[in-house]
Structure 1
Amino acid sequence: MKFPRICALLSFLSLSGVCLGANVVNVSLEAANGAKWSEYVSGAYAELGSNWNGNPSLDGPYEIATGNPIAGSNGLTAFPAGSAWNDIGSLTLDGTATGAGVENFSITGAAFDFSAYMADNDAVVGGYASAVTSITSGTIELTNGAITNLNFEANLAFIYDFSAFGVGPTPFAGTLTVDESSFVLAVDQSYPNPGNPGGPPVRYVWDATGTTSALNLVPEPSSALLGSLGMLILYRRRRR
């Protein structure tokens, strides 16, 4: 979780080095076995690391009522990347980190995409889109470029397009909490069943915990570097 101190040697411009700052943090997570995606219309769930019917590449389906594998199913993979949710999101800071001394920032923006890691690609409605709807708490501390403290809490929406049922985009609300060592994802919402009024509600649940496996500051070009690159482009054009 170190801040990469990147200095570019541009000898053709007689520059000794151009260092970069950063105001974006890329986030990677490691999900613990037992993470679940549950769908209550059909009464089924998938579980990470469950080795459905002895197959380590399959995560379910299981009956919510009994926990038993659903008979007659060929199995499904709801966690295509397994437990490694690399570069699943990013955090935007309200300033630029230099990597020197103790620096504290507020988190003013965030983006996470869980759909490629905890997926339900339904044959009728397709997959979902994930969005951060609001940040309820967000601070980060760096000491000499190392992230020593992170406090991030946000409200999420996982959005399915139920246009096939005459409903349109439908968000399922929840929360995400991430600190420098762990995370908790909890999304759970129900709607009346548009295809079967009075039947089981359309309730989807995403439930996962685990560790924060990587927090990487993304360097941004300094004004000096951008100017140098501009001079290089101009120099190359003049030589043509």
Structure 2
Amino acid sequence: MSRGDWTEEYEMREAQTDDIPAILTFVKNNFDWRETMLRFARQSLVDPTRMDKARFQQMDLDLTNFVEVMVRCHSCQLFIHKASSEIVLFNARIIHQGPTLQEFLEDDSCTSTKLTTDLPQPRDPLFKAYFQFTRDTIRNAKIFQSFPRLDRAIEFVAVVVHLQHRRKGLAFYSIRESIRYSQKNNCGVMFGLFTTKYAKRSAENASLVEIHQVENILDYKDETGEKVFENLPADSDINIMAITVDHACDKHNIY
């Protein structure tokens, strides 16, 4: 499928609160933590003997809370397969408001006034540790210091693609189509944390570039003081990727 004809098979729209039940079903059917870098967490977090009914129920509740908060409070993008009317992509995005000049003067390490406060906090130990890892990583990237005079930025928090519609470039199209949304909402930069070589390629195809290499991941510790990861998958490539919206418009001929 070429980059120009994806609209023949799919349509894109913003998620609405009425979509939440369908999105929940889609996410729970197409997201499996065992397919991600979470499977390389320390043994105590992924030990099968500790994955009891209560644990899975909490994971399910954490995913439910995440979807509901993101759809109700933030910007989520859906791709719909026209032939089946099924959701085939869910892109959870959040707009960050940059710190004021006064906030910079008081604390030059601040990065965003809304970096964590508007996101649901998972309670399952595995999800909680990974969530904190992502937030700490993005905070350390200092997005608003990297791009002077930046007032707002849009983050790709999570992208879920239907199992039967992968390898079709939908993640790329999702990022590219977010350019117009960013323009309308006065966001100067689009960015995200990408954790695999495949995800990074999608970002690179959309002209995002690496601005922060995540190092010493195996040394990262959670709030208990224990290391979160024991190993990393061979296809891991963990980076913060970003692009200014003006540059993205030029690269993709969007005016």
Which category of TM-score, normalised to the shorter sequence, fits these structures?
under 0.3
Q: Based on CA coordinates, which of the two structures has the bigger radius of gyration?
A: 1
Q: TM-score, with normalisation over the residues of structure 1?
A: 0.26
Higher share of residues assigned helix: 2
Higher share of residues assigned strand: 1
